Structures are given as C-alpha cells and as structure tokens.
Amino acid sequence: MKLYDLEVSGNCYKVRLFAALAGIELELIPVDFMAGEHKQDPVIAMNPLGQLPVLSDGATQLRDSQAILVYLARKYADDCWYPQSPEQQGEIMQWLSTAANEIQHGPGAARLVDKFGFELDKANAVATANSILPIIETQLSQHQWLALDQPTIADCAVMPYIGLSHEGGVSLDRYPNIQAWINRIKALPGFISMPAL
C-alpha cells in the first residue's frame, strides 16, 4: 500500500499519523511538490486534482485525506477508530467535515500564506481560525476527545493544522483545552510527529 506523500503537508500527515497509531504499514512515496511532481504521472493519473495525499492500495486509489482515513479505518483498523454505528459515524463525520472546511480554510490557509507564500486572504483565514477554535475549545472542555470517548479518526483529521497553527500566526495561548488535547494525542502509543509540530 503506497501513500504519495509530502512531509510538510498537514493533510499527508493526517494519514501517516493515523496509520502509525493504528499499526497500518504504508510505503511512503515522496512527491517533489516544488518540482511539480504532483501535476505529473503517476500522481495526476490517480488524482486529476493534482493534490496530495493519494493512496494506492492494489486496485483502489483514493484522494483526499479524510476519505483515506475512513478507508483505512474501515478496512485495516480496529473498530474503535471509526465504529460501525450510524450515530458514532455521524459524530466522527461532522469533525471530518470541519477538518476539510473551517480548519483547512482557517489555520491551514494562514499557514499556507506565512510558510509557503500562497496568495490567499490571510485576514479571512485568521478570522475563520478565530471562529472555529473557540468551538473546539468548548468541545474539549467537556470531552477528552473530539467525537467519542476514545481517540478516533476525527482527532487525526482535525489536530494537524491546529497543531501547526503557529506557522500561520495563529496562537493557541487562549485555548488550554486544545493544548491538552494535542498533548493527549502526542502521548498515544505509536504517535509520530512532523516538522514544526
């Protein structure tokens, strides 16, 4: 099973992190983003959007980190990461959607501006971060984990760009529950890190 990967990508890290926590072996295929390899074969043939990560598992090829997390959890991991009940899946999915929307376009986008020089609306990204972080802080003031009473793929999906928010000028100083949650994730058996986390 191959993961077409970019080390500094939070979306790629989500997949690497979950695989490490769940004991799933991945062959990492580094993609030279600066040389445009994500817009060339074999990546572009598997993902016409030209984005990373891309997972190749035999005949199955998937793009989008949230979709990959669901696939890996259902096919290769213990049920605790993505249980089968519709209620529990719904709890998790709403946080996967948050990861793909408010987190991606908030702290994730602010990081793209500051760290990589993307021409995005930094003020809007910071405003989005400032609107979602208090909601997550409140959730984590009442729960140890985002979705259920144990770590799930929701935590793997949401944490990376929040943990990297300082690279976009977004501080977590006002969010002690978020900081404690990040530390709980870091304390999980099998945890792996990434640059700047």
144-197 per-position pLDDT tens digit: 999 999 999 999 999 999 999 999 999 999 999 999 999 999 999 999 999 999
Strand 2-5, strand 27-30: pairing: parallel
| One domain, residues 85 and 182 | yes
Q: What is the pTM of this model?
A: 0.95
- Give dist(CA 32, CA 1) in Å, integer: 19
Within a domain: 191? no
Within a domain: 30? yes
CB 61 within 8 A of CB 54: yes
What does 49-68 look like in DSSP terms, one character per residue? Answer: T--S-EEEETTEEEESHHHH
pLDDT-derived band at 126 (thresholds 50, 70, 90) equals very high
Domain of residue 8, residue span: 2-78
| One domain, residues 25 and 87 | no
Show which of 56, 78, 100 is a domain's final residue: 78
Within a domain: 90? yes
Within a domain: 196? no
pLDDT tens string 50-61: 889 999 999 999
CB 10 within 8 A of CB 164: yes
Show which of 78, 96, 129 is a domain's final residue: 78
Within a domain: 194? no
